[in-house]
Amino acid sequence: MAPRKKKEQPVNKKPDINAYIAGAGLVVEQPITDTLETNYMPYAMSVIVSRAIPEIDGFKPSHRKLLYTMYNMGLLSGSTIKSANIVGRTMQLNPHGDAAIYETMVRLSEGYQALLHPYVASKGSFGKAYSRDMAYAASRYTEAKLAPIANELFEDINKDTVDFVDNYDATMKEPVLFPVTFPSVLVNANTGIAVGMASSICPFNLREVCETTIAYIKDNDINVADTLLAPDFPIGGQLLYNRKEMEDIYESGRGSFKVKGVYSYDKSQNCIDITEIPPTTTTEAIIEKVIELVKAKKITEINDIRDETDLGGLKITIDLKRGVDPDKFMKKMFKSTPLEDSFACNFNILIAGSPKVMGVKEIISEWVAFREECVRRRVYFKLSKAKDKMHLLRGLEKILLDIDKAIKIVRETDEEAQVVPNLMIGFGIDKIQAEYVAEIKLRHLNREYILKRTADIEELEKEIAEMEAILKSRSRILKIIVGELENVIKKYGMDRKTQIISAEAEEDYKEEEVVDDSPVTFFFTKDGYFKKITPQSLRMSGEQKLKEGDEITQTVEASNAYDLLFFSNKQQVYKSKATEFADSKASILGDYVPSKLEFEEAENAVFMASTTDYSGYMIFIFDNGRISKVPLSSYMTKNNRKKLIAAYCGKFTLHSIFQIKEDVDICLKSTNGRILLVNTGAIPAKTTRDNTGIAVMTQKKGQRLLSAELYNKGNMENEHRYRTRNLPAAGSKPSEKTAEQIKMDL
């Protein structure tokens, strides 16, 4: 017997990666337009249509899936259940994760206070819309159910009023829209950011919205602003109302308006309690801004600020210093903190799957058309049910003619399957009617039962006629909608929470500004360092600390109310306010102006001017003996610009800069040894900042100004020798005594 051959073992070969990944390593060129169309556009449309933009019923898909799940769980009545249970069930419709679903529930809850009319009744800690740090508890700790107003979303949902579609795995149905009985899209705030577009719908008072819709149904040419006064926010606040601006928003669906907080003054405690804030900010943001302004010395009227929000509601308390006027202080607060903020409107809504920015009247028109269709479908649904019931009762009515015959037919029929056909033949009824008669219990085969069931035929005929008439008449459908809106007003209407105040009056109110005019001393050095020191600190200070080689060139006694102008070596001036610089000490270098005011590269500060009223002049003296005189008012700007170019002439080399309140004498000394005294009154002022000025002291080739100083009368002998009636002038040689004095001064 031949020996068995040993089976050869397979050789392990290294797998070919390219065999598994087709086209690996290949670079395929594709036009960017094709990439956008095939890859990006489907994503963008998905975000727009299925995520971020609300539809005419006022809901995004995430809202609708959550609320419909709660409805199916029977949460319109009964007690609350754990939020985690609701979130888990909602994932049958919304596969985006439990965190996103729970956040949606939080925003719809009454505990969060983001909606005028919350759809979710909550129990437990759901956070607050007006607080960044008050976080909501985990879903396992909180409970929820549907709020009573949710009845207006689901009352007709099982009457074929809206279309249903499969959920993501086709295991159950969900509604495309809610058949809501009032324009909820305008009642509760809704914001969303899609791809290339966004939506921001402010909330309006439910009563005003319903009354406006009723007025529109009765007369399409109404002015919406007559009944829909202004937006209404759940936190309250005060809305600065301008009729024209509001009408523009109502017309175009875009625009903005301002909302400010509400405060009260407690005289006994000398403190201000802020109880309402704009919807665009939080208590933490306000407090942080106030602290920032206090550190910058822009707010000096307060001793303390704290958040006293508790179960009673929002409350920010500010302790004032003694003697502070609370109303004037709050003017400053509204101007410089988020206590007054703008709300931007963008009424972008999906209509038939397409985003559209609409005005309020157009939104109401679209909602009325949507609600008309819902009512029409509901009436048709009821009509179909009524006709089916009538059909059965007509068959039952025929049985009334001979009950014994019906019993005999059933009893004498040999096979069960033949009962219905025999009843059809015996009484001339159809299969549906015969099935209904055959299913009647034996105890009901009596005249009394049949008479009771058929007694409603006449009433049912009237109902059918009524419903058919409604379907043929649009005015009757609109009348039903009006009745539903009036019922909503009666059940859920409430007074406005946001006060309406005149924007014109508020503008005058804001013009007054509280100015800190506490005394300070300014120090400016040759190298561009600036210090602002209070008198108390100055009295306790020792020698001024300076950078090596630096020296103080200007010392000005002023106040925090001063404006500061820093002239640079590049013919530019940078404007600031004294309050923008923190109080300094003699023991530190101070603020380096080019860094503080963001100078350009290689740009240095060469002179500091300070003023409160921009009176007086700036004097610019150049090496060639020319002098330019510019009114300080030329540097005043209405829009608080921080930087002005062409602050002085750049054609000549700058020698000195002076700031004067009135005309003074200036002593000019040239390298040729001559001296000239000139009064600035002889130099014409020019409002053009970079004017070349006039020639004052003539200089020959190779000569230039040696010094320029403000001159006090009597400092030199025979000072008339150095004055001249005509300009320009060469000046005069000093006497030996004067020359000796000059050498000593140098």
The mean pLDDT value of the chain amounts to 89
Q: Of 533, 543, 94, whose CA–CA distance to 297 is shortest?
A: 533
Q: Which distant-in-sequence residues (6+ apart) come within 8 Å of 485 by Cβ?
A: 181, 182, 210, 213, 214
What pLDDT is stored for residue 16 in this prediction? Answer: 56
Q: Which of 47-51, 122-126, 208-212, 316-320 has the lowest mean pLDDT?
A: 47-51
pLDDT, position 180:
96
CATH for the 262-338 domain, from 3.30.70.270, 1.10.940.10, 3.30.1360.40, 3.40.50.1820: 3.30.1360.40
What is the pLDDT confidence band of residue 509, given thresholds at 50, 70 and 90?
very low
Mean pLDDT, rounded, for 608-629: 94
Amino acid, res. 692: T
What's 701's DSSP letter?
T
Buried (b) or exposed (e) across 499-524, using 16+ Cβ within 10 A? Answer: beeebeebeeeeeeebebeeebbbbb
Q: How many residues does the chain have?
A: 746
Q: Measure the CA–CA gap between 670 and 706, rounded to whole angstroms.
A: 5
pLDDT tens-digit readout, 311-328: 889 999 999 998 889 999
Residue 8 CB contacts under 8 Å (≥ 6 apart), including other chains = none
What is the pLDDT at residue 99? 93
Q: Residue 656 and residue 237: Cα distance in Å, rounded?
A: 55
Coil vs helix vs strand at 338: coil
Cβ neighbours, 10 Å, residue 737: 11
| The token pair that represents 308 in the structure block | 């006293």
| pLDDT tens-digit map of 22-34 | 666 677 788 888 8
- Give exposure, 105-137, as e/b (b: 16+ Cβ within 10 Å): bbbbbbbbbbbbbbbbbbbbebbbbbbeebebe
Distances (CA, A) of 367 to 119, 181, 217, 371, 589: 19, 10, 11, 6, 67
The class that CATH gives domain 59-179 is alpha beta
Distance CA 586, CA 541 (A): 6
- Which among 367, 58, 276 is positioned nearest to 187, based on CA atoms? 58
Segment 484-500, tens digit of pLDDT: 999 999 999 999 999 99
pTM of the model: 0.69
Count other C-beta atoms under 10 Å from residue 430's C-beta: 12
**Alpha-carbon gap, residue 720 to 697, rounded angstroms:** 16
Q: 177-196: per-residue pLDDT in tens?
A: 999 999 999 999 999 888 88
Single-letter amino acid code for the residue at 330: M
What are the tens digits of pLDDT across the range 643-690?
899 999 999 999 999 999 999 999 999 998 899 999 999 999 999 999
Q: How many CB atoms lie within 10 A of CB 6?
A: 6
pLDDT greater at residue 330 or residue 717: 330
| Domain-wise residue ranges, the chain | 59-179, 262-338, 369-489
369-489 sits in which CATH class?
A: mainly alpha
Q: Which residues pair with 622 in a beta bridge?
A: 654
Indicate if 369-489 has the same CATH topology as 262-338: no
Give the percent of the chain with pLDDT over 70. Answer: 94
8 A C-beta contact, residue 707 and residue 671: no
Distance CA 370, CA 519 (A): 68
List, by residue number, the catalytic residues.
Answer: 141
